């Protein structure tokens, strides 16, 4: 479990055991996550999405506190998983990082509360499951347009991008900032401290 360049974001690379029967791996270990984060992942909801090639979901985030931490795994197909630092006042505010998750590398992503999340399906029938620390709460859920140039996300070429109506109508980063929608970094740090987080 290695940290990315954005505080509170990690990529998890499990050890896959394979033989003539197939393979086995542990895609989630509460104790290992606790050791790395300094606190347990509070599990309130588990989601599964199946996406056609080119479907782009996000950038989504929730008000902090409590926000919504996520633990994402690609069960089938392949996706480009993206974390965006939307925390106003963060040293990495506006920065994004992308990691490929697929059925071969079996990698997972963990994103702390206050971070934005998006993913792009690279193959048909790409299936993602994700564990969430809080249940979906529509009034507290927000988005930033994933194609906003200010985010600088390097989406792959050669795909016909498909957005939901809601994501297509999402504000730019500047608009979300001006509207006061974005999480405050100090509020996020205070919440992490309350959880007992020990992020690098």
The answer, yes or no, to whether the previous bond of 65 is cis (omega within 30 of 0) is: yes
Neighbours of 42 (CB within 10 A): 12
Active site residue 191: no
114 and 86 Cβ atoms separated by less than 8 Å = yes
| C-alpha distance across the termini of the chain, in Å | 12
Which DSSP letter does residue 117 get?
Answer: E
User: Rounded to 5, what percent of the chain is helix, strand, coil?
Assistant: 20, 35, 45
Gap between the Cα atoms of 136 and 194, Å rounded: 21
- Token duo for residue 53: 């090639």
Gap between the Cα atoms of 117 and 131, Å rounded: 13
Active site residue 192: no
Active-site annotation holder among 71, 110, 130, 191: 130
User: Known catalytic residues?
Assistant: 60, 130
């Amino acid at each position: 479990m290695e940290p990315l360049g954005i505080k509170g974001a990690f990529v998890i690379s499990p050890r896959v055991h394979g033989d003539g029967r197939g393979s086995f791996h542990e895609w989630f270990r509460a104790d290992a996550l606790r050791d790395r984060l300094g606190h347990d992942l509070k599990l309130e909801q588990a989601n599964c999405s199946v996406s056609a090639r080119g479907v782009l979901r996000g950038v989504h985030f929730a008000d902090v506190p409590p926000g919504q931490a996520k633990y994402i795994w690609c069960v089938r197909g392949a996706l480009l998983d993206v974390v965006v630092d939307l925390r106003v006042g963060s040293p990495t505010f506006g920065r994004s990082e992308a990691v490929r998750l697929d059925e071969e590398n079996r990698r997972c992503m963990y994103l702390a509360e206050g971070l934005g999340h998006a993913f792009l399906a690279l193959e048909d029938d790409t299936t993602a499951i994700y564990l969430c620390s809080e249940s979906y709460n529509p009034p507290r859920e927000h988005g930033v347009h994933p194609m906003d140039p200010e985010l600088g996300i390097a989406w792959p070429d050669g795909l016909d991008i498909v957005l939901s109506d809601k994501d297509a109508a999402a504000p730019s980063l500047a608009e979300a900032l001006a509207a006061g929608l974005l999480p405050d970094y100090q509020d996020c740090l205070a919440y992490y401290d309350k959880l007992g987080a020990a992020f690098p």
